[in-house]
């Protein structure tokens, strides 16, 4: 799963830096494939593969849910670890708290 990538309404990308290891391109390709898959769901001319599409969608949703659950546990662990220290920086705690809240909000949705 690609962490930190975002696409704006205008199609501009932001997020993790391109480290020239091919990961950014792989993540963008995966995103584009998922976007196209979602766009084609339910089209009349795809009715013959509807059951296959629903199985694929179920797998995707399950994988995404596992990613969010694991991310929430990891974010909570990091936040609690640093919160328990004597003098963690406010910026660090704020960043870790935002990560935790982000995962919690996505899990609620």
pLDDT at position 70 is 95
DSSP assigned state of 6: E
The string of DSSP letters for 53-64 reads HHHHHHHHHHHH
The pair of three-digit structure tokens given for residue 59, joined into one six-digit string: 């797998």
Distance, CA of 19 to CA of 58 (rounded, Å): 32
Distance, CA of 26 to CA of 36 (rounded, Å): 15
Spatial CB neighbours of 28, under 8 Å, sequence gap ≥ 6: 5, 13
Nearest Cα neighbor of 36 from 12, 18, 56 is 56
pLDDT at position 30 is 84
Question: Would the pTM of this model clear 0.75, i.e. be above it?
Answer: no
- Span 50-109, pLDDT tens digits: 888 889 999 999 999 999 999 999 999 999 999 888 888 888 899 999 999 999 999 998
pLDDT at position 7 is 64
- Span 34-51, pLDDT tens digits: 888 888 887 777 778 888
């Amino acid at each position: 799963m690609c962490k930190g990538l975002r696409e704006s309404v205008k199609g501009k990308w932001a997020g993790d830096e391109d480290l020239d290891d091919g990961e950014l391109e792989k993540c963008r390709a995966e995103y584009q494939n998922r976007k196209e898959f979602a766009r084609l769901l339910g089209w009349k001319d795809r009715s013959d593969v509807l059951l296959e599409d629903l199985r694929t969608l179920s797998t995707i949703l399950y994988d995404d849910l596992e990613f969010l659950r694991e991310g929430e546990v990891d974010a909570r662990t990091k936040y609690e670890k640093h919160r328990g220290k004597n003098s963690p920086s406010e910026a660090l705690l704020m960043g870790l708290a935002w990560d935790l809240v982000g995962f919690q909000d996505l899990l609620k949705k």
